[in-house]
């Protein structure tokens, strides 16, 4: 027997083993992806069915009532006083030369 024939006898089973291992890894990765997709789908369905909780619902309602009321609040009064006064760094004239 020559060296080549002996080498081929050893090489062929190894390539078959490598092919089997590669196939097993691909199947394992596919299974992992499928299980991950299933878990994500379940989580999405649970989130759709879950009721949103609002911890500060009372504060939000009070703020909405205050902003919707006809009385001007402090922020609106500040804005009005600023708009009435001259702006501190903007000029009054516009220069069209140029």
Please give the average per-residue pLDDT across 54-58, as a whole number. 70
Question: Where along the chain do its domains lie?
Answer: 1-48
- Per-residue pLDDT at 51: 73
Please give the average per-residue pLDDT across 37-58, as a whole number. 83
Mapping DSSP onto H, E and C, the string for the chain reads CCHHHHHHHHHHHHHHHHHHHHHHHHHHHHHHHHHHHHHHHHHHHHHHHCCCCCCCHHHHHHHHHHHHCCCCCHHHHHHHHHHHCCCCCCCCCCCCCC
């Amino acid at each position: 027997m020559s060296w080549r024939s002996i080498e081929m006898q050893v090489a062929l089973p190894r390539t078959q083993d490598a092919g089997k291992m590669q196939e097993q890894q691909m199947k394992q990765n596919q299974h992992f992806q499928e299980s991950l997709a299933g878990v994500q789908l379940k989580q999405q369905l649970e989130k759709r069915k879950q009721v949103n909780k609002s911890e500060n619902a009372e504060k939000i309602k009070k703020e909405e009532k205050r902003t919707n009321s006809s009385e001007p609040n402090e922020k609106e009064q500040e804005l009005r006083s600023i708009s009435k006064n001259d702006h501190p760094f903007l000029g009054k004239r516009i220069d069209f030369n140029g």
